Structure 1
Amino acid sequence: MLFDSKRIRLRKMEKGDVPLYHSWRNDIEMMSSTNPNLDQYSLEETLDFVETIILGSSSSKAYMIHEKEMDVTIGITSLINIDYKNRNAECIIDIGEKTYWGKGYGFEALRLLLNYAFLEMNLHRVSLRVFSFNKKAIRLYEKLGFKHEGTSRQCLYRYGQWYDIVHMGILKDEYKCETTF
């Protein structure tokens, strides 16, 4: 099945997911490694963001990551800034439930998302941005086949110092599709 692996299932984000997403969006520890704008959001701000940017956009597709065994939603992964003409998109992922960090769920979720992007949507290129201090994420993306494409030098101030944002991308013909994992 396209949106299923042995351990997880991807399902479209719905308005009912807002409270859970809101709790992740306000978790500074989680967002410090993925969001350049650390801020606290009201539930209304999160609802507006989800309705306008995530659900209301024709250039994005957001999927909740649902862990099957414990029957719990653990994160979100998305294709954003989809350019249908040039067959490009950017991907993002957040594992919001910290007990699932470092256990391969991000790899599985991105594998499903890339299978969809390349095999169903027929995209040519998928890119992402990652903070230079997030070494685990960089290794994950390299393992999936992403290549380093550039760096925005010292554009993120975090933990009292400046960090780079690393730009990575993968082309359809570089991607090694695996449908069983």
Structure 2
Amino acid sequence: MLFESERVRLRKMTKEDAELYHKWRNDVEVMHSTSPFLDVYPLKATEDFVEYAILGSETSKGYMLVDKERDISIGIVSFVHMDYKNRNAECIIDIGEKQYWGRGYGEEGLTLLLDYAFYELNLHRVSLRVFAFNKRAIQLYQKIGFKAEGTSRQALFRDGKWCDVSHMGILQEEYFHKKEIE
């Protein structure tokens, strides 16, 4: 099934998810490796962000990543900056429930999102940005088939020092080829 794997399924994000997303968005440990903005947000700000930036945007699609066995949401995968003319999108993944970190759920969720991108939306290219210090995420993206495309040098100030942001991308033909050989 398109939006399901062995352990997870994707479901469209709704307004009702704002409270859970708010919990993750305000957890500095969760956002440390994924969000350029570490801050504490009021619930109203998160509700507005979900309403306008995720649900109300023509260029974004947000999906909750759900553990099928326990039927609980554990994270979010999204497309942002979707460019339908040039068949490009940027993807984002956040696993908000820390007990799921390092257990392969992110790989399953991101693979489902890429299946949707390339098989259904017929996108040509999907990109992402990752903080260069997030080695575990970079290894995951490379395993899935993303290639390094460049670096924004010292673009992030985190933990008292400047850090690079790495840009990665995967083309539809690369994704299909990788799927064929698996």
What is the TM-score normalised by the length of structure 1?
Answer: 0.97
1:14 paired residue number: 14
Amino acid at match of 2:68: K
Give every structure 1 segment of 4 or more consecutive aligned residues whose post-TM-superposition deviation is greater than 6 Å: none
Percent identity, aligned pairs only?
66
Q: Please give the secondary structure, in 2, of the residue aligned with 1:148.
A: strand
Shift of 1:41: 0.4
2:85 paired residue number: 85
Question: Which stretch of structure 1 is more off in the superposition, 94-103 or 169-178?
Answer: 169-178
C-alpha separation between the residues in 1 aligned to 2:70 and 2:116? Answer: 25
**Mapped pair 1:125 → 2:125:** yes
2:105 paired residue number: 105
C-alpha separation between the residues in 2 aligned to 1:121 and 1:71? Answer: 27
2:73 paired residue number: 73
Q: For 1:94-136, what per-residue CA distance to the aligned partner results, in whole angstroms no more than 9, with x for missing partners?
A: 0000000000000000000000000000000000000000000
C-alpha separation between the residues in 2 aligned to 1:160 and 1:140? Answer: 26
Amino acid at match of 1:139: Q
Shift of 1:80: 0.7
Amino acid at match of 1:53: A
Q: Please give the secondary structure, in 1, of the residue aligned with 2:17.
A: helix
Shift of 1:168: 0.2
2:163 paired residue number: 163
Q: Please give the secondary structure, in 1, of the residue aligned with 2:64.
A: strand
C-alpha separation between the residues in 1 aligned to 2:69 and 2:52? Answer: 32
C-alpha separation between the residues in 1 aligned to 2:160 and 2:60? Answer: 33
Amino acid at match of 1:60: S
1:30 paired residue number: 30
**Mapped pair 1:50 → 2:50:** yes
Q: Please give the secondary structure, in 1, of the residue aligned with 2:52.
A: helix
Shift of 1:178: 4.8
Which consecutive residues of structure 1, in runs of 5 or more, have no partner in the other structure?
none
Which consecutive residues of structure 2, in runs of 5 or more, have no partner in the other structure?
none
What is the TM-score normalised by the length of structure 2?
Answer: 0.96
C-alpha separation between the residues in 2 aligned to 1:178 and 1:23? Answer: 35
2:4 paired residue number: 4
Q: For 1:56-115, what per-residue CA distance to the aligned partner results, in whole angstroms no more than 9, with x for missing partners?
A: 001111000000111211000001100000000000000000000000000000000000
Amino acid at match of 1:51: E
Amino acid at match of 1:56: G
C-alpha separation between the residues in 2 aligned to 1:93 and 1:163? Answer: 20
How many aligned residue pairs are there? Answer: 180
